[in-house]
Amino acid sequence: MEARDGEASRQDAIGPDDLCPMCHLLLYAPVTTNCNHTFCSRCMSHWADVSVTSQMTIVSLSDAPTDFEPSNVEAKCPMCRTLTSAQPATNLAAEWERKYSATYLQRGADDEDEEELTTVETITVYIGNKHSIVPAAPGSGNCHDWTFFVRPSRTDIIQAVKMNLHPTFRPPSVIRQDPPYEIRRLGWGYFAINAQVILKKGWAWLSNDAYGADKRGLPLDWTLDFEGEGSMGRCRLKVKKFVAELAVEEEPTGVALHQSDDEDEWEDEEDEDEDHDTEADDDTTEAVETEADG
């Protein structure tokens, strides 16, 4: 009891400037933003989840997925809402560890307990399309040769990518379980493609857009770009690893997956698309006319 009282008195002695404005506890492993606000690194990381996920930056087709660098991520500051990034405040961490040794030690133990159960990482995902003009067959306007792709920096945690095309394509949905996650088609008009990126068991997306009871599915949308050679966007996305669940091996499967309408789980189905280079049916050009540009 005396130990608890002593710990409480130490907590009460913490100055208001040394408390995280988000969790209201002693700042632990602090980071300071470019706008000069300081938070616990874990608090800032969780705050940035939605902001990071919602951002897509158009980049060159020559860019390749790279390892995540925390200093490259920008999010709106929780205090002033300025778009900013954060860097470790090692000098402040050392100061508070000396000033509040017992409390700082307990904060570290609490963080370690949480990390034993889950680990949060940030990956980059590229989504876009390549494009070229080809001679159209007589009586056909299909002169756009395009390849849609999803390129995650971590393919080892991806179970499948489902690509939903315009309903007039045959088949209208294509599933890829192994990289490259892409599909090539020939057509005349652009339209929006919805991709669903499904993580392996034991992983979850940290995003408001994630779906499923275990949050393993994430929808991403891309409108085909027929200007020049095409384009692509880059997203910074948070994923969470459940360490306990990863201890159980996932059974291998040789077929593609889809989400059941009645149950919140992934079921097996045959992949109807066996030919990457299959062209769209001729009636596709007529059906897409309302969505195509001119």
pLDDT tens sequence across 139-165? 888 999 999 999 999 999 999 999 999
Residue 35's nearest CA partner among 86, 72, 92 is 86
| SS3 call for 87 | strand
Distance CA 219, CA 161 (A): 10
Half-sphere exposure of residue 200: CA atoms within 13 angstroms, side-chain side:
20
Instruction: For residue 104, give the nearest of 171, 217, 18, 3 by alpha carbon.
Output: 18
CA distance 281 to 294: 20
User: Which pLDDT tens digit goes with each residue over 248-287?
Assistant: 444 433 333 544 333 333 333 333 343 333 343 333 333 3
> Could you tell me the CA-to-CA distances from 49 to 59, 162, 188, 207 in Å, in that order?
21, 23, 38, 7
Residue type, 138: P
**Cα 259 from Cα 214, distance rounded (Å):** 12
Q: Which residue has the higher pLDDT, 285 or 124?
A: 124
pLDDT of residue 58: 85
Give the pLDDT confidence of 16-32 residue by residue, as tens digits.
999 999 999 999 999 99
CA-CA distance, 35 to 26, in Å (whole number)?
Answer: 20
Rounded alpha-carbon distances, angstroms, from residue 121 to 152, 185, 191, 208, 227: 13, 34, 32, 16, 34
Neighbours of 43 (CB within 10 A): 21
What domains are defined for the chain?
Answer: 11-117 (3.30.40.10), 121-245+265-290 (2.60.40.1970)
What pLDDT does residue 251 have? 41
For the chain, give the number of residues. Answer: 294
> CA torsion sign, 94 to 99 to 104 to 106?
positive
